[in-house]
Chain A
Amino acid sequence: MNRHCRLSLRGPCRLKAAWFGPVLVTFLTCACAAGALSGAQVSKVNGEIQAAHAVGAHNDPQAALYLKLATDELAAAKRLSDNGEGQKARLTLERARVDAQLAIVLSKETLAREEARAALHKVRQVTMREPATRTTP
């Protein structure tokens, strides 16, 4: 790369850079895909599971089911990773991630529905207490 290429990516230099970027990304992707699960990937899913616990997913029957699935799939992903089956491990980890997310959202939805129902009940109570016509003395 001559001096001109260092200063600006134009002409032949730009062509070289356009090839170099995708090739590098593809290489890294393949390297990652072929390898074991990283700690960051596992920690991220683990964090989702902890978050689901924090919002009380284990107390909601439907959310608890998905939380259990997420926990089991996380363990399975770790096992697959340990056995060298990186691609299956990543796919299983993704399943664990979406299950944990679903557990969180379902738990929040249940709570929000209860709060909305309570708010509606209060509105109805106030509406019932309010007289239809009021006479001013």
Chain B
Amino acid sequence: MSELRSPIRRILVALDDSPSSLFAIRTAIDLALCFRAQIVGLFVEDINLLRMAHLPFVREIGLFSIAPRPVDIDDLERQLRSQAERIRRVLAAAAEAHGIAWELLVKRGAVALEVMTAGADADLMVLGRVGRSYGQRPLGTTMRSILLQRPGLTFVLSAEVPKAAPVIVLYDGSEGANQALEIAATLVASDDGRLSVVLIAESREASQTLHEDASRRLATRGVNADYRAVRHPSLEGLAWWIRTLGSGLLVLPCGGHGLQGEGLCGLVEAVPNPILLVK
């Protein structure tokens, strides 16, 4: 692991007391073990909620009681603190069980902004695909901001990462693809798993070249892989290909082939797999 070109020393996990946050913690623990990294949890007290509590006519509808009730700012703050405390306990238990250094940051502000700000210092950010908001699309507003704006490595997940399924990596020979291949090889090697490489090329010859290149790189890591070649893929076609390869982790180099901006968001939405974005 220490052979990685971009060593991951600090992993930021965005946490919001949702079920996917638990998966995020587990995944962050696995990654921290793999890359010998430190975990930093981040819990943001949404400024919008606190503002809303001061509005005179706003009523809260309880999930169980349904009956509308006035929002009490003190009560709301206590609940937020309580959420943070729960997250602290879960994170502490998980990290300390594996001897991983950890800390929890509690910030108050706009969620997307705070996550982006805290993520600036992190080598890798792990966050749930869907947050606590009701009725969100497959990608929440925070997630969209991250996808569109955050450089570096970002791990997006909605459920537990299936261990048995093969890790999938897209490879087009670019710098980002080489980095993605290295990371995927590291993950596979540490977990004794399988690797599927999706070669994206313009021609059969180019595919062959990419195959040789990827094989050579993986051989140095002692990793074997299955190879699939995809020519001129649309985003929809690429998503279909990925789905056929199973529900394993997708290591996705961003930038080329429309994998940036809204295109990237579209692919992340279309693929249910956990995704490690490499920018």
A and B: interacting chains: no
Instruction: Spell out B's residues near A (CB within 8 Å).
Output: none
Instruction: Spell out A's residues near B (CB within 8 Å).
Output: none
